[in-house]
């Protein structure tokens, strides 16, 4: 197995080869689907180095190593899904799902924390945050934007459809930051927006579970969130937790303004509820007739 081969030769590897070994061991799922060129870009080495690395640890070339990595990932995913399907009860399934989310968060904290920290530093300094996604995840993008607004951060979510994207790109300025959420599904339209935002001088960050999605390939900074699950359906629990963590970190960095915003929010809410309590139910449904 490739892990044993890497461990056997690791101490004698050159620094460049060790970078490749670390990447394959820590990002096996990514490595299974990346080409030689894509891996070389991720690790910042020459493509020929990737081929020589595979030969150095006992393979005829990277194709043979890649084939073994793909088989390993397939077997792991199949085993995981089968365990979920064989859960004896709903409670057992819930325990498995919670454990899986916990494991995804653990994997994330071990490998992607530096990238998330870099994303937070960018977001703290940017004058405007734009957030987009496709499909059901767009609702999560809208939630994140709304919560950032409550914290006093200029943020706006938008759909990547042609009309909305065009409108947003016309407002986007150099130094602004575009955040894309590419989780559990491809993101073709979002990828086009990322490319155009980058051309305008905006900073681009993609939170994703797949480096092969278009928006991930186009973004300057990619934060990978594991979504492996026991049921055959991608687990978005870790991704949602990390999105909430982003908001908490940004809001906490501006704690006094966030507290003021929430105080004002609660005051207005209390006032509206008080007015509603003083209005008879039937009055709210009657047409307003001018005398």
List Cβ neighbours of 53 (8 Å cut-off, separation of 6 or more). 13, 16, 17, 20, 21, 62
Question: Does residue 42 sit within a domain?
Answer: yes
Question: Does residue 21 sit within a domain?
Answer: yes
Residues 82, 142: one domain? no
Q: What is the pLDDT of residue 228?
A: 72
Residues 132, 249: one domain? yes
Question: Does residue 65 sit within a domain?
Answer: yes
Q: Are 57 and 9 in contact (CB under 8 A)?
A: yes
Distance (Å, whole) CA 1 – CA 204:
37
pLDDT tier at 254 (50, 70, 90 boundaries)? Answer: low
Q: What is the pTM of this model?
A: 0.62
Question: Does residue 238 sit within a domain?
Answer: yes
Most confident of 27-31, 33-37, 127-131, 249-253: 127-131
Which CATH number fits the domain that encloses residue 27?
1.10.10.10
Question: Does residue 240 sit within a domain?
Answer: yes
Alpha helices in 86-161 (DSSP H): 90-111, 113-125, 137-150
| Count of Cβ atoms closer than 10 Å to residue 219 Cβ | 26
Check pLDDT > 60 for residue 251. yes
What does the angle CA 110 – CA 190 – CA 35 come to, to the nearest 5 degrees? 55
Q: What is the pLDDT of residue 266?
A: 74
**Which tokens is 107 given?**
């994997």
- Give the residue, 52 or 25, on which the prediction is more confident: 52
Which CATH number fits the domain that encloses residue 142?
3.40.50.10490
Distance (Å, whole) CA 7 – CA 237:
32
Distance (Å, whole) CA 215 – CA 208:
9
Residues 164, 248: one domain? yes
Question: Does residue 98 sit within a domain?
Answer: no
Give the residue carrying structure tokens 């990322």.
Answer: 194
Distance (Å, whole) CA 263 – CA 284:
28
DSSP state of 10: G
pLDDT tier at 166 (50, 70, 90 boundaries)? Answer: very high
Could you list the residue range(s) of the whole structural domain that residue 237 is in?
112-255
Domain count, the chain: 2
Distance (Å, whole) CA 200 – CA 253:
28
Question: Does residue 100 sit within a domain?
Answer: no
Average pLDDT for the chain: 83
Residues 55, 141: one domain? no
- Distance, C-alpha 52 to centroid of its chain: 32
Supply the DSSP string of 24-55, one letter for each residue.
Answer: HHH-HHHHHH--HHHHHHHHTS-HHHHHHHHH
Residues 194, 158: one domain? yes
Check pLDDT > 70 for residue 230. no
Q: What is the pLDDT of residues 261-291, one digit of tens each?
A: 667 767 777 888 788 777 766 555 555 555 5
**Which tokens is 49 given?**
């180095």
Percent of the chain with pLDDT over 90: 37
Q: What is the pLDDT of residues 117-150, one digit of tens each?
A: 999 999 999 999 999 999 889 999 999 999 888 8
Q: What is the pLDDT of residues 71-120, one digit of tens each?
A: 877 766 555 545 555 556 778 767 777 887 888 888 888 778 889 999 99
Residues 117, 247: one domain? yes
Question: Does residue 97 sit within a domain?
Answer: no
Supply the DSSP string of 218-260, one letter for each residue.
Answer: H-SEEEE-----SSSS---HHHHHHHHHHHHHHHHHTHHHHHH
């Amino acid at each position: 197995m490739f892990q044993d081969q890497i461990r056997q030769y690791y101490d004698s590897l050159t620094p460049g080869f060790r970078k490749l070994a670390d990447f394959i061991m820590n990002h096996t799922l990514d490595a299974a689907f990346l080409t030689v060129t894509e891996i070389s870009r991720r690790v910042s080495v020459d493509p020929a180095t990737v081929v020589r690395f595979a030969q150095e640890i006992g393979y005829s070339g990277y194709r043979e190593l890649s084939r073994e990595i793909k088989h390993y990932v397939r077997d792991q995913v199949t085993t995981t899904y089968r365990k979920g399907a064989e859960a004896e009860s709903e409670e057992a399934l819930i325990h498995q799902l919670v454990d899986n989310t916990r494991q995804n968060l653990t994997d994330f904290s071990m490998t992607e924390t530096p990238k998330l920290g870099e994303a937070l530093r960018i977001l703290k300094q940017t004058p405007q945050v734009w957030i987009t996604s496709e499909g059901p995840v767009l609702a999560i993008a809208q939630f994140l934007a709304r919560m950032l607004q409550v914290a006093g951060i200029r943020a706006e979510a938008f759909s990547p459809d042609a009309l909305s994207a065009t409108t947003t790109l016309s407002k986007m300025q150099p130094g602004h930051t575009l955040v894309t959420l590419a989780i559990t599904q491809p993101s073709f339209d979002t990828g086009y927006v990322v490319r155009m935002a980058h051309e305008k001088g905006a900073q681009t960050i993609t939170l994703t579970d797949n480096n092969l999605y278009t928006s991930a390939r186009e973004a300057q900074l990619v934060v990978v969130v594991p979504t492996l699950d026991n049921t055959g359906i991608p687990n978005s629990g870790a991704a949602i937790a990390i999105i909430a963590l982003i908001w908490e970190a940004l809001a906490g960095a501006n704690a006094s303004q966030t507290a003021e915003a929430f105080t004002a929010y609660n005051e207005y809410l209390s006032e509206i509820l008080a007015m509603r309590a003083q209005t008879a139910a039937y009055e709210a449904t009657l047409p307003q007739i001018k005398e």
